[in-house]
Amino acid sequence: MTSTPKKVTIPMNGVDYRGKIVLAPMVRSGECPSRLLALKYGADLVWGPETIDKALIGTTRRENSTTNTVDFTRISSNGAKNPALNPDQRESVIYRLHPGREGRKLIYQIGTSNPETAVQAAKLVAPDVAGIDVNAGCPKPFSTSGGMGAALLKTPDKLCSILEALVREVGGPNEIGISVKIRILDTAEETAALVRRLVATGITGLTVHCRTTPMRPRERAIRDQLRMVADLCREAGVACLMNGDVTSREEALDLIAEYGCDGAMIATAAETNPSVFRLEAEGGKAPWEEVVEEYVKTSIEVENRWGNTKFLLGQMIPGKHSAYNSMTRTKSYAELVKTLKYDGALLKMARDVDKALDIGEYEKPKLTKAERKAANKTASKTSGGSHDRSMQEEVRKTAAGIKRKAATAELDKPPDIAREAGPASVPESASALAV
């Protein structure tokens, strides 16, 4: 007789990561339209981009009837000392998901270094997702400088306390799974010791990125520790996903069989062309022209931030093609649709979205620094009373109202809050490959 492999119980509202080929969490490249396109082309699950706990805390959950999305928003400060005092201030979308099209296939990845704030943020989004994943692998300074991401690999006690708190206070009550994404350590012994601790916290899944913290995407993944990690996860009944240099569904299936993992993530290849999730027998990788048109249409449907859409198009359109240079000069969805010569129905939709986002011909004049200062002064004079003081205090406590250093501010704002950011203007601190 052969014994049945141990498997942790998958919560009722959660999802089993076994047998899944999934979209990896990528800053900028994991926003709503990218996830929807990955699912359209066959991804089994999708991870959202790492979203810092403090960025989500203080947001308002709104059901958007225009886009059929659920939006977590807060009033954008745009340099104002107290944005809550300006009723005309635009709300920033911190996190957007599409229940009808993502369903129970979305995993929310949280950036955190504190069990309390992790739980506070995760509770807000838990009813709308299939799982919460803790980022313990991002090597970029905007994450590690706050003790998050790969910095957690050096503080295993803290990482375990975060996972245990999420399992106890978020996973259990919402009946979803909690998972973690790590990188390999310098030696197999160190990695094994860490994995043994992590799988004992109550998590349902663990993803191992087969690179060490100092390594960058251009360096080949190291897989000599992968089977060991997969074996340790299997002993604990925890699903193990692999990440690093996986470029297609076929390759993912071959690697799963070779190393004994339960599933795999695709990152960079999916950023360039999300149809890599499709089996060759079902059509395989689609031409970039088809993928770009689908992406533009989807971005318009969900009113995606213009800066994010333009950034992703910079990854999808070949740099040497004439369409690339034409795209980089556009400043709105309407201009983009005209430039790429899409049909009139999409152009009408594009104009409606431009108006909703205040871009292109609908862009409003921006206040100068002096005008913002005067507006703040006027708002402060006209406000008063305990209610306003209480509101100011609440804003001060949230990520939007805290006076922060530049590095910290980068964590708290949406990944592409600058609407005009083109492919060439993406800062190093917001790398799309911060996974």
Q: 81 in a domain, yes or no?
A: no
**Do the domain assignments include residue 298?**
yes
C-alpha distance from residue 390 to each of 78, 106, 297, 384 (Å)? 21, 36, 43, 10
Same domain, yes or no, for 35 and 115? yes
Q: What is the pLDDT of residues 392-433, one digit of tens each?
A: 444 444 444 333 333 333 343 443 333 333 333 333 334 344
- Is the pLDDT reported for residue 322 higher than 80? yes
Predicted pLDDT of residue 398:
44
Residues serving a catalytic function are 138
- In angstroms, rounded to a whole number, what is the distance separating the alpha carbons of residues 38 and 303? 18
From 21, 66, 29, select the one nearest 295 (Cα to Cα): 29
- 255, part of any domain: yes
Same-domain check for residues 143 and 227:
yes
Whether residue 272 sits in one domain with residue 126: yes
Domain co-membership, 131 together with 210: yes
Identify whether 301 is part of a domain.
yes
In a domain, 405, yes or no: no
Q: Rounded mean pLDDT of 42-51?
A: 97
Nearest 5°: the CA angle 114, 308, 303 is 100
Q: In this structure, which amino acid lies at residue 8?
A: V
Tell me if 64 is assigned to some domain: no
Query: Does the residue 87 lie in any domain?
Result: no
If asked whether residues 240 and 167 sit together in one domain, one would say yes
Which tens digits make up the pLDDT trace of 254-312?
999 999 999 999 999 999 999 999 999 999 999 999 999 999 999 999 999 999 999 99
**Same domain assignment for residues 151 and 299:** no
Q: What percent of the chain has pLDDT over 70?
A: 82
The enclosing domain of 224 has a CATH number of 3.20.20.70
Q: Which of 243, 260, 282 is the last residue of a domain?
A: 282
**Of the candidates 49, 88, 59, which has an alpha carbon nearest to the alpha carbon of residue 358?**
88
Q: Are residues 140 and 271 in the same domain?
A: yes
E-state strands within 102-159 = 106-111, 131-136
Are 307 and 253 within one domain? no
Residue 12 domain flag? no
Report how many domains make up the chain: 2
Let me know whether 116 and 256 are in one domain. yes
- The parent domain of residue 196 ranges over 21-49+98-282
